[in-house]
Structure 1
Amino acid sequence: MLRREFLKMSGAGAGALMLPIYGRAVAADVLATTMDVATKKKMATVALNAATKNGASYCDVRIGRYLRQFVITREDRVENVVNTESMGTGIRVIVNGTWGFAATSDFSEDGIAKAAVQATQIAKANSKFQTEPVQLAPVKGVGDVSWKTPIVKNSMEVPLKEKVDLLMSVNGAAMKAGADYIRSTLFLVNEQKYFASTDGSYIDQDVHRIWAPMEVTVIDKATGKFRTREELGGPRGMGYEYLDTRSKGIALPGGAVVYGSAYNMIDDAVAAAKQARNKLKARSVKPGRYDLVLDPTHLWLTIHESVGHPLELDRVLGYEANYAGTSFATIDKWQSKNFKYGSDKVTLFADKVQPTTLGAVAYDDEGVKTGRWDLVKDGVLVNYQAIRDQAHILGLKESQGCCYADSWSNVQFQRMANVSLAAGKTPLSVADMIKNVENGIYIIGDGSFSIDQQRYNAQFGGQLFYEIKNGQITEQIEDVAYQIRTPEFWNACSAVCDERDYRFGGSFFDGKGQPSQVSAVSHGSSTARFDGINVINTARSLG
């Protein structure tokens, strides 16, 4: 590829963002172009024919064009603009019941045919060590189909000046509101992916994602203390229409404003500066047991780490341990049919079709039609996340459609779907939930976290913390983190707000595998209450 070293953003401290930079640098106008579908089908057919001629019982071809733009700013200056394009073909085959994979950036018919032959040769070599043949769940070919993220405005077609002007306005507004430093960024992604297989599918998909992270810092010049507040608008599977400076957001109890289908980055920067300044004056939390009211801007990360990763089937089986370890949620717990992952208020589901989510596609990278399925139903563990060659392990007749590769040059494998907490079934607002809390903490925004290699013991921080006493928010507090054991935590869930409060957070660069790959995934929820959770004081913990 063409895979570059991670670019570490300067000044990010312990929470440094790592930017995966792919492909070759290109001019911005190249990002707005597409490949001809007929040409891609012709190329794919060459690969399919070459693979089957050389002994493949199955073959799939992914022709990918991956486009990315990063616009990085600080205060009154643009630090970097990066436009990248990566193009090529990945070919996966089964020969003698064994996988083989090869990739090429050569788009000539000869180059593609050679890569297909190489994939079959690799499979034949691997088959000498294969003890059990690959079992693929059946997939019915769909012929020629196409799908596109339902965007209003293609981010890649927006002039660079307009993007820079937005970020400069964001930075200026934050500085005027009291920030000492601000870093703001736009991450824009377009994956143009063509999939073909010997099952008879020829699928063209055009996937768009957008993220606008920022970090606002304020300093008490008398003491040298500083506080930060990051953005409360998460990444989305949308076009540039997501960045709408007319959006008023959603006002929460305590005064914070969060965002749903549109993100006003300027207003959020102003609020971030003021709230970070308030952090400097906020009282430090007293450690102890509290009832926690967790906003979706915070809860998405807890879901990601304590549900999404441990219910990936390859981790459960011990086939995968990179980045996130294996899993406490072993097969015997699922087989018992009564393992209480959470309380009866908790239904957690996997989904690849929810509109505006980062993981939304019509077909996964194995050509499987995507959908939704329950992982935890009314508190009981009922399923995992599995792909075509794993489905038989669970007795499934078909894949769940959660296979993905982050590049044409990497082989596709099982990745986390959008994993979300279902909204409460009875009407309940955030304000009504807080009214019933006697001694609690309201947490907004994601922060630092730590979790063990079994996804069992964990600790989570946040962005904003508000004390709740006798059903009332009393004051903003600081230095809060809570500790959990995954099943105990989800069994402590006593209430979930209804669908009116349902919102998404997500991860733009979720790492897995070796060699490592990243994927983008959303997690939805309404605000939820968890009773009797242990809270520590992070300032005291750090000494």
Structure 2
Amino acid sequence: MKRRDFVGLTGLATGALWLPSIPGFSGTLVDPAQLLADGVDVAVKKRLADAALNAAKAAGATYTDVRIGRYLNQGIFTREKQVQNIASTESYGAGIRVIANGTWGFAATNIVTEAGMAKAAQLAVEIAKANSKVQKEKVQLAPQKGYGEVSWKAPIKQNAFEVPIKDKVDLLLAANAKALDNGASFVNSVLFQVNEQKYFASTDGSYIDQDIHRIYPTFGVTVVDRASGKFRSRQSLSSPMGLGYEYLTPKAEDKVAGPAGSDVIGYKYSYDMLEDAARAAKQAKEKLTAKSVTPGKYDLVLDPHHLGLTIHESVGHPLELDRVLGYEANYAGTSFATLEWKAKGQPYGSKQVNIVADKLQPGSLGAVGYDDEGVKTKEWNLIEQGKLVNYEKIRDQAHIVGQTESDGCCYAQSWSDVQFQRMPNVSLKPSTTKMSVDELVKGVDKGIYIAGNGSFSIDQQRYNSQFGGQVFYAIEKGKITGMLEDVAYQTNTLEFWNSCAGSCDQSDYRFAGFFNDGKGQPSQSSAVSHGSATTRFNAVNVINTARKLS
């Protein structure tokens, strides 16, 4: 076999394995046309749900909720001039959660008939009763009114599954070509698409039908200097979004320039993949000769596409109430922001830090009408002028912090998984005073501008951390003076957020997002966005990440 043929075939194998290994992309491989087939009629879903609700009540449940879900996924994978894989999956079934004897029980089934639903409901009650023998405290649910029969649909303009696969492949290969034409040695690109068709019913009196869409175009570009053997990479600056295929139709008004001299373009509600791929190749090539950073204290100016990850890890996760209470200790850690710590009133950040949680922002990954407990979603404050004022919680947690309602952030990755507390969108509010990126940079005497997220690490309490990025630019006396390399900053959560000196205004506000945020045992994934404008942090410790072999 020729080497070229071997590489091509192994590339196809890699692409074939990639999709099923991604959390949330489970299900049966199907013909793409099946993704466009009509789902189950809402009247039929109500009848199926009632079968489960009635069976659970008859078996002794005091509360029951039912989730009937059809989950559609498609991933298209390319490398240079070839398609590696196209995989479409469908998963359909129901999950039934009950309280009996004051204890949770859960069962799931892919036999979505009235008899199958009733049998699963009875099993859930049996499990709850068995669990009650070791339950120390009875479940306390925050009250929740029923909404009757309601629906919510993501406000997309073009269903990505309706776009011919050829058109999507052509876009990815065109992006690859742009990268190769601009100096890339290697490039791969991917397009993920998700549609969750979810029906929720509960003994509270809700029957909620929802249609949720997500999309994620991304790529990786590598440039190799054959003479020296050095190579540098740059990942896409796209963000996964709760949008349809319209996200891939670029609009000039959605482009946001980084500071003068940085050659960085950010994107709001539409993404120019071809432009980003060409720019990525040029920047990866420039990285080969970029100056290696001198360690020390720098003022950092962080682009939203970068800052989103720092928000995610140092605010989103530590303020999940189940983590605060120690429920995640065996797997994903705990939190420094305990109830006792909050009571002391120590500042989480500077007066410039106002952070909100929500499941509402249009286009965000977390946007839904109702969560997986049938709670209508909302926005609420987490940090106000640097002070921690609230956590992220669900119905059976609210009483622990003396509150009477859920925040509507309960989620399960599929019908076969039990729902539990997940991170909502967590976002840093932009400045209410007009402030451009160039104006923000102008006040920096010695600093670094960072765009894109890279490798990171953070401890089990979400306190001590280190973050990298995709591209870095030196700031000297208020101006960008050139690209840097080997940059990462080390900090702890309180030092970092207390060093926040201000942000740009709403005109610069953008989302960063994460398609597969893992949590729980067994692990589940969820999708979440983090909004912010470009933000400045003063006197942050920067290290040089280059490794020198002796």
Question: What is the TM-score when the length of structure 1 is the normalising length?
Answer: 0.96
Q: Which residue of 2 aligns with 1:269?
A: 277
2:66 alignment partner, SS class: strand
Q: Which residue of 2 aligns with 1:260?
A: 268
Q: Deviations over 1:248-305 (max 9, x none)?
A: 7222112211111100101100000000000001010000000000000100000000
Instruction: Return the alpha-carbon distance in structure 2 between the equivalents of residues 423 and 375 of structure 1.
Output: 15
Q: Deviations over 1:487-540 (max 9, x none)?
A: 010000011111111100010000000101000000000111100000000004
Q: Which residue of 2 aligns with 1:31?
A: 35
Identity of aligned residues (%): 62
Q: Deviations over 1:12-48 (max 9, x none)?
A: 9xxx996233010111111123221111111000000
Instruction: Return the alpha-carbon distance in structure 2 between the equivalents of residues 99 and 169 of structure 1.
Output: 51
Aligned residue identity for 1:251? A
Q: Which residue of 1 aligns with 2:365?
A: 358
2:72 to 67, 71, 93: 67
Instruction: Return the alpha-carbon distance in structure 1 between the equivalents of residues 12 and 511 of structure 2.
Output: 26
Deviation at 1:443, TM superposition (A): 0.3
Q: Which residue of 1 aligns with 2:101?
A: 96
Which is worse superposed, 248-257 or 205-214? 248-257
Q: 1:215 to 1:126 in 2, by over 3 A?
A: same
* Pair 1:498 & 2:505 matched: yes
* Pair 1:22 & 2:26 matched: yes
2:382 to 371, 375, 394: 375
Instruction: Return the alpha-carbon distance in structure 2 between the equivalents of residues 274 and 204 of structure 1.
Output: 46
* Pair 1:191 & 2:200 matched: no
Alignment of 1:190-209 (within 5 A): 190-209=195-214
Aligned residue identity for 2:257? A
Contact 1:245 1:266 in 2 (8 A): no
Instruction: Return the alpha-carbon distance in structure 2 between the equivalents of residues 329 and 204 of structure 1.
Output: 36
Aligned residue identity for 2:545? T
1:510 to 496, 514, 517: 517
Deviation at 1:425, TM superposition (A): 2.2
Instruction: Return the alpha-carbon distance in structure 2 between the equivalents of residues 371 and 237 of structure 1.
Output: 17
Q: 1:227 to 1:262 in 2, by over 3 A?
A: same
Instruction: Return the alpha-carbon distance in structure 2 between the equivalents of residues 9 and 354 of structure 1.
Output: 38
Aligned residue identity for 2:33? D
* Pair 1:403 & 2:410 matched: yes
Q: Which residue of 1 aligns with 2:4?
A: none
Q: Deviations over 1:75-114 (max 9, x none)?
A: 0011011100010000000001000000000012111110
2:295 to 280, 287, 292: 287
Q: 1:93 to 1:30 in 2, by over 3 A?
A: same
Question: RMSD over aligned Cα, in angstroms?
Answer: 1.7
Contact 2:66 2:97 in 1 (8 A): yes
Q: Deviations over 1:347-380 (max 9, x none)?
A: 1111100110000001000000100111111000
Which is worse superposed, 256-265 or 240-249? 240-249
* Pair 1:249 & 2:242 matched: no
Q: 1:161 to 1:242 in 2, by over 3 A?
A: same
* Pair 1:455 & 2:469 matched: no
Q: 1:209 to 1:351 in 2, by over 3 A?
A: same
Aligned residue identity for 2:343? Q
Aligned residue identity for 1:252? G
1:449 alignment partner, SS class: strand
Instruction: Return the alpha-carbon distance in structure 1 between the equivalents of residues 464 and 394 of structure 2.
Output: 27
Q: Which residue of 2 aligns with 1:485?
A: 492
Q: Which residue of 2 aligns with 1:304?
A: 312
Aligned residue identity for 2:124? A
1:269 alignment partner, SS class: helix
Deviation at 1:169, TM superposition (A): 0.6
Contact 2:221 2:234 in 1 (8 A): yes
Q: Which residue of 1 aligns with 2:163?
A: 158
Unaligned runs of 5+ in 1: 1-7
Aligned residue identity for 2:58? K
Aligned residue identity for 2:225? D
Aligned residue identity for 2:267? Y
Instruction: Return the alpha-carbon distance in structure 1 between the equivalents of residues 28 and 352 of structure 2.
Output: 49
Instruction: Return the alpha-carbon distance in structure 2 between the equivalents of residues 479 and 542 of structure 1.
Output: 15
1:281 alignment partner, SS class: coil
Instruction: Return the alpha-carbon distance in structure 2 between the equivalents of residues 31 and 170 of structure 1.
Output: 25
* Pair 1:334 & 2:342 matched: yes
Q: Deviations over 1:186-245 (max 9, x none)?
A: 000000000000000000000000001100000000011100001111100000000014
Contact 1:9 1:17 in 2 (8 A): no
Unaligned runs of 5+ in 2: 1-10
Contact 1:59 1:94 in 2 (8 A): yes
Q: 1:208 to 1:323 in 2, by over 3 A?
A: farther
Aligned residue identity for 2:256? I
2:546 alignment partner, SS class: helix
Instruction: Return the alpha-carbon distance in structure 2 between the equivalents of residues 389 and 67 of structure 1.
Output: 30
Instruction: Return the alpha-carbon distance in structure 1 between the equivalents of residues 226 and 414 of structure 2.
Output: 46
Deviation at 1:397, TM superposition (A): 1.0
Q: Which residue of 1 aligns with 2:3?
A: none
Q: 1:431 to 1:331 in 2, by over 3 A?
A: same
Instruction: Return the alpha-carbon distance in structure 2 between the equivalents of residues 53 and 480 of structure 1.
Output: 62
Instruction: Return the alpha-carbon distance in structure 1 between the equivalents of residues 285 and 32 of structure 2.
Output: 38
Q: Which residue of 2 aligns with 1:215?
A: 220
Q: Which residue of 2 aligns with 1:76?
A: 81
Contact 2:332 2:520 in 1 (8 A): no
Deviation at 1:324, TM superposition (A): 3.3
Q: Which residue of 1 aligns with 2:7?
A: none
Instruction: Return the alpha-carbon distance in structure 2 between the equivalents of residues 81 and 321 of structure 1.
Output: 38
Deviation at 1:340, TM superposition (A): 0.4
Contact 1:512 1:518 in 2 (8 A): yes
Contact 1:9 1:18 in 2 (8 A): no
1:136 to 141, 153, 156: 141
Question: What is the TM-score when the length of structure 2 is the normalising length?
Answer: 0.95
Instruction: Return the alpha-carbon distance in structure 1 between the equivalents of residues 536 and 401 of structure 2.
Output: 32
Deviation at 1:246, TM superposition (A): 5.3
Instruction: Return the alpha-carbon distance in structure 2 between the equivalents of residues 515 and 31 of structure 1.
Output: 27
Q: Deviations over 1:388-412 (max 9, x none)?
A: 0000011111000000000000000
Contact 2:185 2:224 in 1 (8 A): yes
Instruction: Return the alpha-carbon distance in structure 2 between the equivalents of residues 361 and 532 of structure 1.
Output: 39
1:212 alignment partner, SS class: strand
Q: Which residue of 2 aligns with 1:228?
A: 233
Aligned residue identity for 1:353? L
Deviation at 1:321, TM superposition (A): 3.0
Deviation at 1:151, TM superposition (A): 0.2
Contact 2:323 2:333 in 1 (8 A): yes
Q: 1:11 to 1:216 in 2, by over 3 A?
A: farther
Deviation at 1:334, TM superposition (A): 1.9
Instruction: Return the alpha-carbon distance in structure 1 between the equivalents of residues 309 and 548 of structure 2.
Output: 22
Instruction: Return the alpha-carbon distance in structure 2 between the equivalents of residues 18 and 174 of structure 1.
Output: 27
Q: Which residue of 2 aligns with 1:412?
A: 419
